[in-house]
Amino acid sequence: MKTTRSSKSILALPDVELWDCLRQGDKEVFNFIYQQYNRPLYRYGSQFTYDRALLEDSIHDLFLEIWEKHDRLSPVDSIKFYLFRSIKNNLVRRLVKAKNFSPIYETEVYEHFSQECSHEHRLIENEHNQEKLRKLQESTALLPKSQREILYMKYFTRMSYDEIAEKKAINRQSVANSLFRSLQRLREQF
């Protein structure tokens, strides 16, 4: 018998894990994402068109495509950013196709939409960047103190390998090895 998760347990999952569950075909997670983002996508999409039917069709088609291609989706850090970008591109394609715009006019439409949603896009991107920074800080905090110090000296104070080696009283190769191990551990987290 298949166990079901509560909305609270699904809500507690970070976007990366939610998306991975969706990519593995988890229908509960798919339904949860649909419920979470259906209205926000509608509000966001209404900036680009007043045609309710077109907007609703675009949202439903987006989720249908996500479900049909769930096993081929790329990993994402921010579900919101992915969905908002996807719905914008979907709407622009549909509007261009419906009006039989020329390629020149199509470019103007894309530019117009880019300007229209630039504030929203910046907010989403800022939120996405803050989440990445938070993850980086958490991952860095898990490194041994000596590795954190060497990372700080190299990337924040821009010291050379030789300067770090001199300051830490270790050889240059130890600095390089420490940086390599630190960066490798951080990459594993992302």
Pairwise CA distance, residues 190 & 188, whole Å: 5
Listed in sequence order, the DSSP H helices in the chain are 7-11, 15-23, 27-45, 52-68, 79-99, 103-116, 118-141, 145-155, 161-168, 172-189
Q: Which of 129, 92, 83, 90 is nearest to 114 (CA)?
A: 92
pLDDT in tens, 34-88: 999 999 999 988 888 888 899 999 999 999 999 999 999 998 888 999 999 999 8
Give the whole-angstrom CA distance, residue 13 versus residue 21: 10
Look at residue 173 in the predicted model and tell me its pLDDT: 95
The reported pLDDT for the residue numbered 87 is: 93
Ordered domains of the chain (ranges, CATH): 12-141 (1.10.1740.10), 142-190 (1.10.10.10)
User: Per-residue confidence of the chain (190 residues) as pLDDT tens digits?
Assistant: 344 565 667 777 888 899 999 999 999 999 999 999 999 999 988 888 888 899 999 999 999 999 999 999 998 888 999 999 999 888 888 877 776 444 444 455 555 555 555 666 677 777 777 888 888 888 889 999 999 999 989 988 889 999 999 999 999 999 999 999 998 888 887 6
